């Protein structure tokens, strides 16, 4: 159950999503629970983001009789987590699509300029006929997502969706000003970015909270 709040921005509207997102935002939520919540939200969002995925028919034998069954060609789906925070969503997406490929693009944000800096990429060059799910918990400035979309489109990819947990208006505007055709699925559209480029109210640094690298820990 999702709502298109603006062109190609879909917000998942479900009581469990609101509940889990609220627990995720709490600054008292510990690393273990935080990781579990990210994974659970990724499961729900993948379910919604793949509603239009093609299926094929095939005859199978049940314990009782022959039947016509329907399958998704998972091997044509590629999950692309943006390192490192995107790794926290991989297991959730994989639980829904266990035979999908996982390939990686590493990007960090320059804390002074807020510009994305690529430091790693492992993407198979054969992108023909593949569907890409780009995953990152937070879309703040949108720079990292735009960088990844640039890379994938330059390789010839044609079917790409973005799955995030929280997005900021600035990030969505950055994505859709350059790639208006790309659907973005999220659990919440927050208010704005602060002067440090963090989403308000947000949930802090998702990568630090997933991997336990906060200064005070």
Q: Any idea which residues carry the catalytic annotation?
A: 109, 113, 205, 208
Kind and range of the H or E run holding 109 = strand 104-109
Q: Phi and psi at residue 186, in whole multiples of 5°? A: -150, 165
CB 146 within 8 A of CB 171: no
| Per-position DSSP letters for 70-106, written without gaps between them | EE--GGGEEEEEEETTTHHHHHHHHHHSTTSEE-EEE
Give the list of residues 6+ apart from residue 52 with CB closer than 8 angstroms, or none: none
Torsion of CA 194, 36, 46, 104, to 10 degrees: 70
* Secondary structure (3-state) at 17: helix
* Residues facing residue 135 across a β-bridge: 81, 163
């Amino acid at each position: 159950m999702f709502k298109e709040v603006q062109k190609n921005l879909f917000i998942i509207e479900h009581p469990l999503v609101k509940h889990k997102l609220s627990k995720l935002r709490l600054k008292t939520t510990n690393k273990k629970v935080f990781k579990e919540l990210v994974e659970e939200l990724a499961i729900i969002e993948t379910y919604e983001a793949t509603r239009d995925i093609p299926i094929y028919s095939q005859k199978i034998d049940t314990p009782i009789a022959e039947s016509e069954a329907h399958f998704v060609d998972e091997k044509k789906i590629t999950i692309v987590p943006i390192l490192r925070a995107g790794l926290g969503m991989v297991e959730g997406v994989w639980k829904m699509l266990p035979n999908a490929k996982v390939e990686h693009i590493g990007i960090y944000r320059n804390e002074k300029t807020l510009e994305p800096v690529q430091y790693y990429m492992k993407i198979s060059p054969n992108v023909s006929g593949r569907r890409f799910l780009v995953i990152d918990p937070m879309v703040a400035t949108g720079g990292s997502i735009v960088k990844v979309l640039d890379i994938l489109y330059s390789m010839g990819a044609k079917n790409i969706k973005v799955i995030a947990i929280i997005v900021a208006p600035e990030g969505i505007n950055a994505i859709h000003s350059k790639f208006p055709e790309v659907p973005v699925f999220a659990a919440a559209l927050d208010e704005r970015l602060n002067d440090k480029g963090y989403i308000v109210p947000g949930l802090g640094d998702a990568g630090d909270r997933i991997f336990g690298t906060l200064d005070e820990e």
